[in-house]
Structure 1
Amino acid sequence: MTHMVYLPFSYAALGQWSGRRRLMRQGVFDEGYALHILLSGVFGKRVLQPFRTFRPSRAEEATLYAYSDLEEGALRAVSEVAAPPDGLEVIDVAGLRAKPMPARFFSAGQRLGFDIRVRPVRRLAQDLPDSQSAKVIRKGSEIDAFRLELLRRSPDGWKDREVAPEAGISRDEVYANWLAERLTGAAEVDLRSCRLASFRRLRVIRGDGRGPEGPDSVLHGECVVEDPAAFAATLANGVGRHRAYGYGMLIVRPPGTAPRSR
């Protein structure tokens, strides 16, 4: 059974811990990468995944939410045995809370609100010329789903703007459709309600070096559950790529309500 986990942590201490572990690359601090390493060391690999962090502006204290197969008591027991002492200086295991999220919580036709942070990218199936840079984007590369749609609609290319009226598409529309594809079979996204709540471009760290720069987006909207078991599995597994690094956690809420401030 999937459990939703709440875990307080110190953002300031995370930065200091990352510095001691030399997890920064060429001046880049990737919060998701650092937490991936830390959580794996405290609870085990993929135990708290997907996850999402919330931090008031410039605050030293932050909150992590995650989905896990382990219940609260089991998570505490694992951390007591395996957690490195310096890791416990970052996360507040005493403040950990968890609640079950079984499939029976959901029913076919149920309408739910959602809040999700995603990295809406696609992997290229073949080389693609990029007229803006006069280079070729190689097969297997990750590319922003919006940028790819612009390139597909115009070989000559358009500037990567929030709205490209010449192409007849917007970033909101492309990202909403991207999400809807990944929920197919589990839930139907109400495309009219889905909106891009925030967007930025962010370079990440993966492995021993800097990873790709790409879109970092938060989507809010509503969906209708189609298959309760598949929907519960989607919550547990996460949506899209980079789920081990702070992306893809689908947080549900009552329909018709705005996400509460965290």
Structure 2
Amino acid sequence: MNVLHLISLPLDLGPLRRWAAMRGCGADEGIALHHLLSETFGKGVTQPFRLMAAPGAARATLYAYARASEADLKQTALECAMPDALAICDLDGLAVKEMPKAWRQGRRLAFDLRVRPTKRLLKPAGAFGKGAEIDAYLAEALRRHPEGRPTENPVERESVYRNWLAERLGAAATLDEARLVRFERRPVQRGKTSREGPDVIWHGELTIQDGDAFVARLESGVGRHAAFGYGMLLLRPAR
């Protein structure tokens, strides 16, 4: 199997917004990028991904993990991508590096991570039916206080999200520290429905426990919606 690669791809935001509007993607940037990447490089080839843009900037950089090589990505794009997609993606600026094939147990790394911390209900809770996807904080509040909002010892949002993150890392790594640097509620469009949910950015540090599981976590992403701009572990040197 091909090794895992980290790619960076410059994008022009003006053409991206026009392309998204013509495709009926609305204000959901994640679904616009999902369709753009799928049509340019193939479905699921470049995910999870993360778009990084400075406020007011005309260009941004998209980072993603991919098994495909730089040559394969460019060949697929040149053979299959539509001209308006290539007006968005700067293929000449595409940069690709191989990720390590093996990770040492005990290796400590810093990370930057955007996630959508949600849970699917295994049974009805409050106004939500079995199988509903809801905010992990709300799910925990309903579990602890099914009778309603408590007057004492309320559920603490950041703590719930930190536990959610530690669970999603699983056997791959232990969560040493995590600082919630942004919390918003944003709507996402899935099919014909739009639903609001948490949008969280973490900065923190982790320690690798299982190298193979860690590679799998990088490739699959953390949590749900990895195909729409969430769940990509961007790694940094630890302190």
Where on the TM-score scale, by shorter chain, does this alignment land: which range?
over 0.9
CA distance in 2: counterparts of 1:110 and 1:157, whole angstroms: 43
Residue 117 of structure 1 is aligned with which of 100, 114, 130? 114
Equivalent residue for 1:9?
11
CA distance in 1: counterparts of 2:68 and 2:100, whole angstroms: 13
**Mapping of residues 117-136 of structure 1, within 5 Å:** 117-129=114-126, 136=127
**Mapping of residues 150-165 of structure 1, within 5 Å:** 150-158=141-149
Q: Give 1:58 shift.
A: 1.7
Which deviations, in whole Å up to 9, do the C-alpha atoms of 1:93-134 show, x marking residues without a partner? 111001011332x200011111110000000011112xxxxx
Equivalent residue for 1:200?
184
The one-letter amino acid of 1:238's match is G
Residue 248 of structure 1 is aligned with which of 228, 231, 239? 231
Do the aligned partners of residues 103 and 158 (structure 1) sit closer, same or farther apart at CA in structure 2, a change above 3 Å counting? farther
Residue 174 of structure 1 is aligned with which of 143, 148, 160? 160
TM-score normalised by L of structure 2: 0.95
Q: Give 1:210 shift.
A: 3.2
Equivalent residue for 1:162?
none
TM-score normalised by L of structure 1: 0.87
State the Cα RMSD in Å: 1.4
Residue 213 of structure 1 is aligned with which of 192, 196, 217? 196
The 3-state SS of whatever aligns with 2:83 is coil
Equivalent residue for 2:171?
185
CA distance in 1: counterparts of 2:128 and 2:101, whole angstroms: 41
CA distance in 2: counterparts of 1:157 and 1:48, whole angstroms: 42
Equivalent residue for 1:45?
43
Which deviations, in whole Å up to 9, do the C-alpha atoms of 1:40-70 show, x marking residues without a partner? 0100000000000111012121110000001
Residue 207 of structure 2 is aligned with which of 224, 228, 232? 224
Q: Give 1:211 shift.
A: 2.5
**Mapping of residues 70-149 of structure 1, within 5 Å:** 70-104=68-102, 106-129=103-126, 136-149=127-140
Percent identical across equivalent pairs? 47
Which deviations, in whole Å up to 9, do the C-alpha atoms of 1:171-225 show, x marking residues without a partner? 22111110111111110111xx211110100001112x23221000011111110
Aligned residues: 237
Whether the 8 Å CA contact 1:11–1:61 is kept in 2: the answer is yes
Which deviations, in whole Å up to 9, do the C-alpha atoms of 1:109-161 show, x marking residues without a partner? 011111110000000011112xxxxxx211111111111111222123339xx
Is the counterpart of residue 68 in structure 1 residue 66 in structure 2? yes
The one-letter amino acid of 2:24's match is R
